[in-house]
Amino acid sequence: MGSDYKGNKPNRLGVKYAVNGIVYAFRSEMNMKVHFVVLFIVLFCGYALGVSATEWMLLTLTIGAVLICELFNTAMEHLLDYLAPEIHPTVGKIKDLTAGAVLVAAFTSIIIGLIIFLPKFLLIL
């Protein structure tokens, strides 16, 4: 494999396949739907409360981290179900670990969201 290796698909279609993966995860995973609902709530609140550019950057990074973790979790679950369709304790541990990564990212994003939004909400009250 040289530096010109493009895999088994034309390079120009990479974005299409990536979008297909996101759409698949959204359609098949309830947690991904929940993440997107929260994403839109955060976007609305950020716009309505006038968050700063720095706060937008932090919100964007945390939202991205949660979605990335959820995509990797979904991919790992499908890979393990394909490779080991029978129940296996090691497979269960791996799935628990990837789900744990999503949970850590989600809790981190909640903490960052509270740090950014709570003072703004308290000023309104």
Q: Active-site residues: which are they?
A: 70
Q: Which amino acid is at 69?
A: C
Q: Which amino acid is at 113?
A: G
Could you count the other beta carbons within 10 Å of the beta carbon of residue 51?
A: 18
* Nearest C-alpha neighbor of 79 from the set 31, 10, 21, 35: 21
On whether 70 is known to bind a ligand per the annotation, the reply is: yes
On whether 55 is known to bind a ligand per the annotation, the reply is: no
Angle at CA of residue 32, ends 46 and 45, nearest 5°: 10
Angle at CA of residue 75, ends 105 and 27, nearest 5°: 85
Q: Token pair for residue 52?
A: 């700063």
On whether 29 is known to bind a ligand per the annotation, the reply is: yes
On whether 5 is known to bind a ligand per the annotation, the reply is: no
On whether 22 is known to bind a ligand per the annotation, the reply is: no
Binding annotation for substrate: 70
Residue list, annotated binding site:
17, 29, 70, 77, 86-88, 95-96
Annotated binding site for a divalent metal cation: 29, 77
